[in-house]
């Protein structure tokens, strides 16, 4: 089997008009380059002629593969299927709507190969999108940049290129495709670059993403952050919260006891001292201690589960030869 330099993965949903033009542009831009490559189209449950157009191309060009989903699963699942099918040393992703310019493919390939980046993300510095997309996207990228510590200007850019090792260490779901740089960093791949890329106006159809993607995106940011930071040490998270609630509970108990002893020391008759169970602080203490115990139990059981199902190959090792 011939070794491939590059796999180009293109998920598509109802992009029948764009697919032939995109394919022609890719082959035209790469035809004179000393580069072996494959193109992998993924039909993400389209209900137009997207699959027919893909089939035509696969028949005429053996460098092209196509995967068809029975329904629309989303971009992350489509990319994940393409990643599993890819055979190139480098993997490039791009959107099928012709807004990502194929002229960027070879430049990104040269950049990641020559500079030895783990991944390079495109930056649509000048976007050809309405303000209803650009303003929320800027805010989303700012929050993600602050939260992750990765200095990328455009986490949402569809055109990115990765080393094969980076992609093979990642499983995607939900809206996680936006956070591949973040997941890669937490897997030990820290050399992340960025390149300003062209962004074309949409020629056909309408955007497949609405405002709800930003809500889902923020929820997935919280999810992926929690999972990757605490998946090997859940007791650190749950135990810390448990200690906090225990402290709240014990401080509340201490205040109740102090108040009771103080009133008794002042010779106030017992019948005039408000019962402990009539004080709101008693219930705050009770609830806090119960929650603290539950959080400790969750942390303990999570640690136990990890020990039982530990994978000794979960870490990455860079081997070197002695010369």
Among 178, 204, 230, the domain boundary falls at 230
Position 11 scores a pLDDT of: 94
Expressed as residue numbers, the domain containing 129 is 4-230
DSSP, collapsed to helix, strand or coil, labels residue 78 as helix
Do 167 and 21 share a domain, yes or no? Answer: yes
Position 214 scores a pLDDT of: 59
Position 315 scores a pLDDT of: 45
Blockwise average pLDDT, block size 10, the chain, 323 residues: 87 93 94 90 93 94 93 89 93 92 94 94 81 73 79 87 90 76 85 91 65 64 66 75 88 84 76 72 87 85 67 46 36
Residue 13 lies in a domain: yes
Do 47 and 139 share a domain, yes or no? Answer: yes
Position 40 scores a pLDDT of: 96
In this prediction the pTM is 0.71
Helix (H) or strand (E) segment spanning residue 183: helix 180-186
Do 168 and 29 share a domain, yes or no? Answer: yes
Give the total number of structural domains in the chain.
Answer: 2
Position 29 scores a pLDDT of: 93
Residue 185 lies in a domain: yes
Do 225 and 279 share a domain, yes or no? Answer: no
Do 240 and 115 share a domain, yes or no? Answer: no
Residue 322 lies in a domain: no
Residue 65 lies in a domain: yes
CA atoms within 13 A on the CB side of 20: 7
Would you tell me how many other CB atoms lie within 10 Å of the CB of residue 247?
A: 12
Do 223 and 252 share a domain, yes or no? Answer: no
């Amino acid at each position: 089997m011939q070794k491939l330099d590059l796999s180009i993965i293109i998920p598509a949903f109802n992009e029948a008009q764009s697919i032939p033009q995109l394919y022609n542009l890719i082959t035209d831009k790469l035809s004179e380059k000393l580069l072996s490559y494959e193109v992998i189209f993924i039909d993400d449950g389209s209900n137009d002629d997207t699959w027919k157009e893909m089939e035509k191309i696969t028949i005429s060009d053996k460098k092209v593969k196509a995967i068809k989903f029975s329904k629309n699963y989303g971009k992350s699942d489509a990319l994940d299927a393409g990643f599993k099918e890819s055979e190139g040393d480098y993997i490039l992703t791009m959107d099928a709507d012709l807004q990502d310019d194929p002229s960027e493919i070879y430049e990104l390939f040269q950049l990641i190969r020559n500079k030895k980046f783990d991944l390079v993300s495109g930056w649509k510095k000048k976007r050809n999108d309405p303000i209803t997309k650009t303003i929320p996207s800027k805010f989303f990228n700012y929050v993600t940049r602050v939260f992750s510590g990765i200095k990328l200007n455009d986490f949402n850019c569809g055109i990115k290129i990765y080393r094969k090792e980076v992609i093979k260490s990642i499983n995607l779901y939900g809206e996680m495709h936006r956070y591949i740089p973040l997941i890669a960093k937490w897997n030990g791949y820290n050399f992340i670059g960025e390149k300003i890329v062209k962004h074309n106006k949409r020629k056909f159809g309408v955007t497949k993403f609405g405002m709800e993607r930003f809500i889902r995106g923020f929820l997935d940011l919280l999810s992926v952050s929690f999972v990757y930071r605490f998946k090997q040490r859940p007791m650190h998270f749950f135990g810390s919260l448990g200690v906090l609630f225990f402290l709240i509970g014990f401080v509340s108990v201490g205040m109740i006891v102090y108040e009771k002893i103080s009133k008794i020391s002042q010779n106030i008759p017992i019948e005039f001292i408000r019962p402990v169970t009539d004080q709101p602080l008693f219930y705050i203490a009770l609830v806090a201690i119960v929650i603290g115990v539950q959080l400790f139990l969750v942390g303990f059981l999570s640690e136990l589960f990890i020990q039982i199902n530990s994978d000794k190959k979960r870490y990455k090792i860079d081997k070197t030869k002695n010369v």
